[in-house]
């Protein structure tokens, strides 16, 4: 069965410093992996998607993630945090038992950005 584990429930950074949000996945097959962001009382916005075309995936708002099969990781990074990046971030894998239609979400990482 597929699953994702977000290793930190809360990450705090200062504005202008790098961001690292960690995610490990478990999958019997080559997975489709995603990062979504959720601002308070809003729906989820897709940041980026990995589907085996390239191991380094660039997303919106300066975020990127690297797929590392040997480490079963898909960590999200950004070189310089903005105040507007403060939100909840979810690492997500496609559920192959549902023909890849359903998404399986991690528990989320809350990113706080201080000035």
Partner 1 sequence: DTGVSQDPRHKITKRGQNVTFRCDPISEHNRLYWYRQTLGQGPEFLTYFQNEAQLEKSRLLSDRFSAERPKGSFSTLEIQRTEQGDSAMYLCASSEQGNQPQHFGDGTRLSIL
Closest distance to partner 1 from the beta carbon of 48 (Å): 10
Query: Residue 49 is encoded by which pair of tokens?
Result: 């998607």
Binding site for partner 1 (CB under 8 A): 32, 34, 36, 41-46, 49, 51, 90, 92, 94-95, 98, 100-108
Q: In whole angstroms, how close is the CB of 55 to partner 1 at the nearest point?
A: 18
Nearest approach in angstroms of CB 96 to partner 1 is 11
CB nearer to partner 1: give 55 or 98.
Answer: 98
Closest CB to partner 1 among residues 10, 70: 10
Q: How far is the CB of 111 from partner 1 (least distance, A)?
A: 15
Nearer to partner 1, 74 or 90 (CB): 90
Rounded CA gap, 15 and 2, in Å? 34
């Amino acid at each position: 069965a597929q699953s994702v584990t977000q290793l930190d429930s809360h990450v705090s950074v200062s504005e202008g410093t790098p961001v690292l949000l960690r995610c490990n996945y478990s999958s019997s097959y080559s997975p489709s992996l995603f990062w979504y962001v959720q601002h308070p009382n809003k729906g989820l916005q897709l940041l980026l998607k990995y589907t085996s075309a390239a191991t380094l995936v660039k997303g919106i708002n300066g975020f990127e993630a690297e797929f590392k099969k040997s480490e079963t990781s898909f960590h999200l990074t950004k070189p310089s945090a903005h105040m507007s990046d403060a939100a909840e971030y979810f690492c997500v894998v496609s559920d192959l038992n549902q023909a890849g239609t359903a998404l399986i979400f991690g528990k989320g990482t809350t990113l706080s950005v201080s000035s």
